Amino acid sequence: MRNLAAGVLAVVVLASATGCSGGDDKAAGGKDTRPTSTFPTPDSATIQGRLLAVGGPAPGDPRPMKRGTVTLTGADGSRIQGQVDADGRFAIGVSPGTYRISARSKDYQGGAADCLPAKQPGPLDKGTTTTVDVVCSLK
């Protein structure tokens, strides 16, 4: 029962974080604005974190990027993407394996440059959650 409660909590948190409100998620132009994050299952791993802008004018403290797409690239070249929320947070359910994580935001070099973590995560195991912050280094 303990694992079930944790799984339900993870789904509720992810549903909240990814904007699953049950309402209409279409922008004025009819474009679907829902995030592409996936929900974890008992057989999946989860990678979560924040997309942060670091640097710029002193003191250069980390600030959440409110817009951005996080990309996980598997060893086989497959890609899974998820959107960050208004606090720069993301959570993506994936099959266990090794992934390279990167992100882009229109607020960082017009979306033309990758933001990267300080260190790429190691292999993601079934039923685990790995936290990785992705950084856009401002000058």
Per-residue pLDDT of the chain (139 residues; tens, 9 = 90+): 444 344 433 333 333 344 444 444 444 444 443 444 456 677 899 999 999 999 877 777 899 999 999 999 999 999 999 999 999 999 999 999 999 999 999 999 999 999 999 999 999 999 999 999 999 998 7
Q: Across the strands, what pairs with 79?
A: 73
Q: Is residue 27 part of a domain?
A: no
Q: Is residue 60 part of a domain?
A: yes
Q: Is residue 26 part of a domain?
A: no
Q: Specify the CATH number for the domain of residue 116.
A: 2.60.40.1120
Question: Please, are residues 134 and 50 in contact by the beta-carbon 8 Å criterion?
Answer: yes
- Using CA atoms, how far residue 37 sits from 7, 60, 62, 107, 109, in Å, is 16, 29, 23, 20, 24
Q: Is residue 92 part of a domain?
A: yes
Q: Read off the DSSP letter of residue 123.
A: P
Residue owning tokens 């989860």 = 46
